[in-house]
Amino acid sequence: MAGIENLEKLLSSMSPELIEGEYIFCTVPNGKYSDFQDLSPLATFIESEGLTLVVTRENADRSGLQYESSFKCITLTIHSSLEAVGLTAAVSAKLSEHNISTNIIAAYYHDHVFVPSRSADKALSLLSDFSS
């Protein structure tokens, strides 16, 4: 099934959903995924500076990983195409108008918006306005 590319349809049809738990972003210089798979990372990315991990705050604390902030994840429950234009820009712009930072990860079916934990309820409300 192909994802939706039309921005208007994506925004009006999405139903943002707050995912349970808190997540952190951290980096491990020279890290290898296999060294951290027991933490069940939600996402990883290899950068020249090290391995970025997105893991639950609980797993990060248990493992002694260093991090700066904690985030909540809001999943945009609409199957967006990886070639859709403007969705992440619209979401980011809407939240930035209210001084809410966003870290967005696009997966195959959905986009996942990470916002500071303290701003999650407000962000969810703002994103829900798109489909009102």
Same domain, residue pair 120 and 87: yes
Answer yes or no: do 84 and 128 share one domain.
Answer: yes
Both 40 and 77 in one domain: the answer is no
Q: Assign residue 95 the CATH number of its domain.
A: 3.30.2130.10
> Helices 87-96 and 120-128: crossing angle, nearest 10°?
120
- pLDDT tens, the chain, 132 aa long: 678 888 888 888 889 999 999 999 999 999 999 999 999 999 999 999 999 999 999 999 999 999 999 999 999 988 988 888 889 999 999 999 999 999 999 999 999 999 999 999 999 999 999 886
What pTM did the predictor assign? Answer: 0.92
Number of domains in the chain: 2
Same domain, 80 and 128: yes
Residues 54 and 37 in one domain: yes
Q: Do 82 and 123 lie in a common domain?
A: yes
Structural domain that includes position 38? 23-68
